[in-house]
Structure 1
């Protein structure tokens, strides 16, 4: 809920493990940032985010707009890639000096709320400095932890299936809303038989996809404090996945590694790949085919288990400038001109003001908008699954261990035990 965003996503999942060595964070007092107040009353706040250069260029344009409207507030930008961002942030937070405002994601909310780093922004909303209205499809709830509003969504996205349109057409396969997992795997078999390529790049190491599958069965990947499934559940998921690797239905993981950072889908090694819908712009730039979004397979022909994820803005609880920080966040999530500048870089725009201000003209963005509108119209969107403290570490572990299963390095049952062991340590951190 990046620039070449699935590349960023893969980096995210692998790099998140860097935060496994949980640092003891110092108590956060009123020592926020190195921003201060000048003699003429001008306030400086620090704003940090991760992403590529196109995102940085766009955000700097929005900062200039903000500073024009609020001339007494200056914004110091800090940006880097995902891995470096969270390594730096953890160090800053442990020293009580994180940025005043920063880009955040659901996997980190409880982790840093638990350490007292995140401001509850409800107080600023009550003071009239931040508007918590006009958020689309209930996405504001993504930033809530234990009754506190610790994140404000800037964009929203949902899981999807990206398909090679030419391959699916050539194989005579037409995915539709309500198709089942059996239908999906039968379609992949048809593609393999007719086109002699794998159907999927490696679905079973994607934590968020497994979450949808669990939700279709009345469970979820996480509860508020633990994993929401059993070792047996995961063993079965990974056993089924490994069988499909051995049969060629899922692409050879060694070949997938060889083409990185290009995706196995855009490299022509497989005909489909599960990912967040707004990451789909990546494939048009990388591949030689045409790509589109297809529905998530279901268990019962209806429930996909989907929800809206999001990137969001959070504030440091110890900032010296809470009012100005809230005004900045409010501007960044509600101002129509900001929405027009940012477009869908961080997902479908979260507020109605910004959503209405941006009309996509590029085919991929049009497809993302149409896909999310269709998913919403189908009535399948539910509430986001809780993400306890440690979720970021577990996500990275799930990707890594799932990859070991795919390569035949670890038996599924042993892999499930390892995942549960690492999750226990992550929750305790």
Structure 2
């Protein structure tokens, strides 16, 4: 599941300690204008995604391979940083000029389906133009909404705890699958007391962590139509976060804010933080320590509440070339050579064919080799332990709710709002965004 912190891996490695936000500004092979048919019976489709320059290089290389294998289809490309991508996409969609194919995420499916933007790919799948078999861990269902196939996964990720391994080793802490939140808080106190640093960079504003925590309690962040938790639930969660800051278990929010976009763990402000597993390379790029992936704590020692998230590819409902769109998506999702080009840039490959085609332990880059091997091992451990469940449904407006959750939590953490005021504001904004 990618967010605004989804950045290109090799660009990070070249710019360790620099501004991550600057990496995704430049574009290559940008295209405006509509898709259409060219001379010689060729068809041109437009493909847009968010990310940084390294992702662009990998995708453009994949597209060159596609055009070689499908000479009658040409692909014009456009990429932006995450927030800029959605601003541009909204403008294009409103004007009836969205790209034929575009990168998408679970939080946007219902929103753009309700606006008649997304192509239902079911017909293309039935016609054999798009394969829906061969996916890992049930990911073939990831882009289905109300019986419609609105997106096809290209990679998977799951929430994890990224730790500063040197700090944890010195503190004598070795996280294992099945540890509880009580165990986790004990580890935070031990790190604070023995290593004189915060154990976590701040976790209570991360929607995709709060969701599995709620799922451990039999609830969820979202239902199909709204929020799946109460104001009292959130008061408890956010009060716990502020208490952790005051006791030194969590990093000082003001200091965390000052070092953005660098992460508090890479900066040395904290010994760990929760994020998507495929972001693990970021810490090696930014920091001077050794980093590893640890499992999500549980409430009962068994249920983690986790699921596999994913980037996906979607088609534009008004495209003039649905067959070519499906052919392109099928290639990007299933072709083994694409996996060897992309690596884990979009997460662990969603299909078995691509997963087996890219072997991270054979990567020529030693840093990527180590980090990607760790990511694969982490996701394999989740599958083997059978802790993964289906993803929580995301209603229309989920993207607005996620942004509000992050923003309001930050305002509260910086002392601009009380907990009760922050919770009230969040539920007010959520009600408006979700139309209820």
TM-score range (shorter-chain normalised) is over 0.9
Kept in 2, the 8 Å contact 1:33–1:45? The answer is no
| Deviations 1:63-116, CA, capped at 9 Å, x for gaps | 001100110100001111111110000000001110000000011111000000
Distance 1:425 1:190 in 2: 43
Query: Per the alignment, in what secondary structure is the counterpart of residue 142 of structure 2?
Result: helix
Structure 1 segments unaligned to the other structure (5+ residues): 12-31
Structure 2 segments unaligned to the other structure (5+ residues): 22-31, 362-368
2:406 is aligned with 1:399: yes
| Deviations 1:386-412, CA, capped at 9 Å, x for gaps | 111111111111111111222222121
Kept in 2, the 8 Å contact 1:4–1:282? The answer is no
| Deviations 1:175-218, CA, capped at 9 Å, x for gaps | 11111001101100000001110011010000010001000000
Within 5 A, what are the aligned runs for 1:220-369? 220-361=220-361, 362-369=369-376
Kept in 1, the 8 Å contact 2:408–2:426? The answer is yes
**Correspondence for 1:190:** 190
Kept in 1, the 8 Å contact 2:336–2:354? The answer is yes
**Correspondence for 1:114:** 114
| Deviations 1:263-321, CA, capped at 9 Å, x for gaps | 10000000010000000100001111100000100000010000000000000011000
2:433 is aligned with 1:426: yes
**Correspondence for 1:37:** 37
Say if 1:54 and 1:201 are closer, same or farther in 2 by CA, change over 3 A. Answer: same
Distance 1:299 1:405 in 2: 26
**Correspondence for 2:129:** 129
- Shift of residue 142, structure 1, vs aligned partner: 1.6
Kept in 1, the 8 Å contact 2:8–2:54? The answer is no
Kept in 1, the 8 Å contact 2:100–2:319? The answer is yes
Distance 1:394 1:141 in 2: 24
Distance 1:297 1:317 in 2: 41
Structure 1 stretches of at least 4 aligned residues deviating more than 4 Å after TM superposition: 4-7
Distance 1:69 1:364 in 2: 32
Equivalent residues, number: 407
- Shift of residue 39, structure 1, vs aligned partner: 3.5
Query: Per the alignment, in what secondary structure is the counterpart of residue 76 of structure 2?
Result: strand
Distance 1:33 1:355 in 2: 35
Distance 1:3 1:226 in 2: 30
Distance 1:237 1:199 in 2: 18
Distance 1:385 1:141 in 2: 12
Kept in 2, the 8 Å contact 1:231–1:416? The answer is yes
Distance 2:421 2:306 in 1: 29
Kept in 2, the 8 Å contact 1:4–1:281? The answer is no
Within 5 A, what are the aligned runs for 1:62-73? 62-73=62-73
2:386 is aligned with 1:379: yes
| Deviations 1:342-398, CA, capped at 9 Å, x for gaps | 110010000011001000031000000000000111110000001111111111111
Query: Per the alignment, in what secondary structure is the counterpart of residue 314 of structure 2?
Result: strand
2:99 is aligned with 1:99: yes
What is the root-mean-square deviation of aligned Cα atoms in Å?
A: 1.5
Distance 2:214 2:8 in 1: 29
2:392 is aligned with 1:388: no
Distance 1:293 1:33 in 2: 43
Distance 1:411 1:303 in 2: 32
- Shift of residue 33, structure 1, vs aligned partner: 6.5
**Correspondence for 1:17:** none
| Deviations 1:234-282, CA, capped at 9 Å, x for gaps | 0000001101111111000111111112110000000010000000100
**Correspondence for 1:3:** 7
- Shift of residue 4, structure 1, vs aligned partner: 5.1
Distance 1:358 1:287 in 2: 27
Query: Per the alignment, in what secondary structure is the counterpart of residue 372 of structure 2?
Result: helix
Normalised TM-score (structure 2): 0.91
**Correspondence for 1:417:** 424
Kept in 1, the 8 Å contact 2:221–2:229? The answer is yes
Query: Per the alignment, in what secondary structure is the counterpart of residue 308 of structure 2?
Result: coil
**Correspondence for 1:22:** none
Distance 2:414 2:76 in 1: 45
Kept in 2, the 8 Å contact 1:144–1:151? The answer is yes
Distance 1:39 1:313 in 2: 27
Distance 1:212 1:128 in 2: 36
Greater relative CO (CA pairs within 8 A, separation 6+):
1
Distance 1:246 1:406 in 2: 11
Distance 2:415 2:172 in 1: 32
Kept in 1, the 8 Å contact 2:8–2:55? The answer is no
